[in-house]
Amino acid sequence: IMHDRSALRTTGTDTFIDQMTLEQVRELDAGSMFSPAFAGTKVPTVAEFMHWVKDTNLLVNWELKDYVQDVGRERAFACADKLLEAIEQAGMSDRSMVNSFDNEVLGHIYRKAGKRYPIHGQGIGPCARHQVLSDISDEEMFDWVCMYANVSGGSPLDYPENFTYCLDRGILPCVCIKDTEENYRRACRIDALSRKTGHSVTALALAYLTSNPVVTYPIIGCGSMNTLRDSLAEPDVALT
């Protein structure tokens, strides 16, 4: 498990993971760059991670980083297939979702598994961040999409039409923004204007503004995954 294709940012070794053997990856030190207390920490395998979380109620968002343009279609699809197989063998299909910046990989998963796993895209329409596009429509494939700014240096909240686009198609928008009251208020206004309730932007904003604890933190409403709590509160509360 590695956040980037390159191991540089997390281990100090400037090598692509897909060009290393497992033995070579296991020799990397994934802790020293963060604190001497973590020196010698090994890069975990998918199997090890699954073992750690199997007895919890955690929902897992698996991000596939083997992109078609980097490693080729055969290898990218094989990586996705192996992950789905591991998820099934671990009995984690009911609490797993998949995401990628490569829509061709996500399209492969959708064709293979249908709606068994919620699919999380990276941007949509003008704010798309996909490495490769798919011939499957947004509303058919995506369950959840991270929102970005349409232009560099902007904020996702500057483009409420992107949120409306998602909600009108039954897609759950989520957003990564600086933790400020103004940003949360803007997120709530977007929700109120869209006349939709129960999506993650509202849940975050209301939890922040009203100090009400979110007992069951929502991830996505699809299939057998935990559904969003649309009874959390009315969005207009945050605007008063």
The rounded mean pLDDT for the chain is: 79
- Position 52 pLDDT exceeds 50: yes
**pLDDT bucket at 29, cuts 50 / 70 / 90:** very high
Element (H, E) at 37: none
Question: End-to-end alpha-carbon separation of the chain, Å?
Answer: 44
Whole-number percent of the chain with pLDDT over 90: 44
What is the CB-side half-sphere exposure of residue 199 using CA atoms within 13 A? 27
Distance CA 43, CA 31 (A): 9
- For the entire predicted model, the pTM comes to 0.78
- Position 161 pLDDT exceeds 70: yes
Whole-number pLDDT of residue 191 = 66
Please give the average per-residue pLDDT across 57-67, as a whole number: 90
Owner of token pair 């897609």: 171
**pLDDT bucket at 37, cuts 50 / 70 / 90:** very high
**Most confident region among 31-35, 77-81, 143-147 by mean pLDDT:** 77-81
Please give the average per-residue pLDDT across 134-152, as a whole number: 88
Distance CA 80, CA 65 (A): 10
Whole-number percent of the chain with pLDDT over 70: 78
Task: Give 183-220 pLDDT, tens digit per residue.
Answer: 777 877 776 655 544 444 444 444 444 443 333 333 33
**Which segments within 36-195 are labelled E, that is strand?**
60-64, 96-100, 119-122, 144-147, 172-175
Cα angle: 175, vertex 177, 178; to 5 degrees? 165
| DSSP three-state, residue 145 | strand
**pLDDT bucket at 99, cuts 50 / 70 / 90:** very high
